[in-house]
Amino acid sequence: MDHIINAAVQVIPKTREADYYHLIDKAIDEIKASGLKYMVTPMETVIEGPYAQIMEVIHRAERATLHAGADELIVNIKLHIRKGADVSFEEKIEKHKNSAA
């Protein structure tokens, strides 16, 4: 798949620590460092780019979270793939942007 896709990824670490947000931050740091377009939301991070690159970034995010102290992970991934064409953030959210923001 050579086209641009969208992927929503949610990394949920299982740990004995009461505060685990720093583990989620490690996953987000890997996504940020990838150079791919991304958007952090309260429940997941959405990434835009080529399929293979996105899957590699998700794999790095998983490893970073485990390395940072997570005992286990639940990783939810949603993909939007279009046959023969790119998928973009803009086509989905443009009409919902608040002009006053």
The pLDDT tens digits for 74-83 are 999 999 999 9
* pLDDT given for residue 99 in this prediction: 61
Tell me what pLDDT residue 94 has. 81
CA 46 – CA 2 distance, rounded (Å): 18
User: Considering the domain 4-87 in this protein, what is its CATH number?
Assistant: 3.30.70.930
Domain ranges of the chain: 4-87
| pTM score above 0.75 | yes
Distance of CA 53 to the CA centre of its chain: 12
In the chain, how many H helices and how many E strands? 3, 4
Q: CA–CA separation, 6 vs 81, rounded Å?
A: 7
Q: Which residues contact 2 (CB under 8 A, 6 or more apart)?
A: 50
Q: Which two tokens stand for residue 18?
A: 């009461």
pLDDT tens-digit readout, 8-59: 999 999 999 888 999 999 999 999 999 999 999 999 999 999 999 999 999 9
